[in-house]
Structure 1
Amino acid sequence: MSKKVIDVSSYQGVVNWYKVKASGIEGAILKVIRKDLNPDKQFENNWKGCENAGVPIIGVYNYSYATTLDKARADAKKVLSILAGRRAKVWLDVEDTCQKGLGITLIRIIQAYQEIIEKAGLEFGVYTGLSFYNSYIKPWAGYLTCRFWIARYRNPVTANQPVIKHTLEGWQFSSEERVPGITGNVDMNLWYGEIMSMPEVPQKNPYSSPDKILKLKLIRMRGHGVGWVQYHLVRLGFLPARNKKGKSNIDEVYGPDTAEAVAKAQAHYGIEVDSIVGAMTVYVLRYN
């Protein structure tokens, strides 16, 4: 059974994800990167908004301007850099005029990008329009094994879903839908692939989550973000509730004991052990 999924970018501005969730939307795909290879201006807000509201993140997408394999590889690495350890399916959007008429080179561009993404342990798929697919991908269909997300703007009640030679994971059937919590139009999709539920936060943390990378420095980093990390480290058993002097270890100061506890948590959950609290460390602390 298909589900209703939207895809968004900075074009939609600031989204109220709680209203989106309440409207019945069952997932979202977020634009991750711009043409200049900087993050989409709303990517971080959208990611955090989805997490907080419990809207499953189906994936992220990269509108591609790649016409060479080197460009494709560089773009894929940049996307991974922006994700910074966060896990999401990466959709390569191939539809730009510069990619028309490339022949087999376009297929090799897709494969080069796919290789980088999958080597990082993430799933990969291709987004494009049905006309572009039929003209520039279908002739070489046997060279690609990934799933596709296809745009074909029709009313799904009166038109059949796109027919392609690959597995169709999603059908973008409109770019003019209205959804509570979003100003203006938004793309709407019927999703046929699996949608994972957002993990539940086991306990409410009274501190605000970090808004910057935390690490051990000569001049100690302080604030609610550090308290948030310490709270979860105590909850998960990596940091004693109290220090040797009997004082609380949740003191909002990133000192040696906190750094050591972070390293223990990282080793336990199988991520890079560096005592630095980045996006992936925040993720495992939040959802374990």
Structure 2
Amino acid sequence: MRKYLISILLVLVMLLNSSTALAEVTITEFRDISLGYGSTHPIKSDEEMFSVADVVYELSFLENSFPLLKETQIPINVVHKRFTHKKYGSLGDFATRDGILYLFAFQRPNVRITVNGIEIPYNASLNRYFVSHGIGHLVRFRYLSDKDLRDYVNKIRQPDKKEHRDGYDEYYNNPEELFAEDFRSVFGSELARRVVFKPCYSRPGPEEKVWILTKTELIKEYPLTCTERLEWYKIDKEEGVKEINRCKKVWDEKSKHKDIDGAKAAHVWADQIRGAMGLPLQ
């Protein structure tokens, strides 16, 4: 067993020369491990083993796209064996309700993909996928109640909007997997998102992203696009009214200085908010 207590800040300086991050991640490597959820199996080659570097890269990306992780202790166990769950079969990641993420060896396709004009092994994309998907489970267990998850599926995702897709496993349509896949698709890196979206739903968009940010209380600090802000104001009417009132002040100020374009822009934005909130346009 090899164990590392990794400050992502230090790892980023060494690997990415990127922005500051605060989370502390414990990554422990195991040759084998005993879990009550299923059984492990020998790997056929070292190429099946999970890359610790890919774990660090994806976590560093997620800390920027989902800042709540900067305040979260994340224990990750990288196990150099394949894993078969008693109920769900072969898995590359498994997250427990007490906040531990396990990453397992798995059979990898001999495929390469092109990212930004550079050809890389598909393995890296799969590694990133399992990390983002697994972190999605941890976010759900830590920050959302069972009722929150039911509301998300029934009110935001709406089961009657599922799409029929041949060859898709119904397993990925269950609420836990749907949320983890949505989290990966919304907040994961480009490589994590390159793996096919597995539930029989359309990929998540601004509505799903804003719902997650609202429930985890990140929404007010997050750099939202205009479309995402409109989704937020549908949920939080009080914030929408505040923004409309701010637009009125901007309109008054711009009109006072005969800035016609500026005044018009403030009026248009206020009406977009009213439309999103179901209020009469002015």
TM-score bracket for the superposition, by shorter chain length: under 0.3
Higher helix share goes to which structure?
A: 2
TM-score by length of 1: 0.21
TM-score by length of 2: 0.22
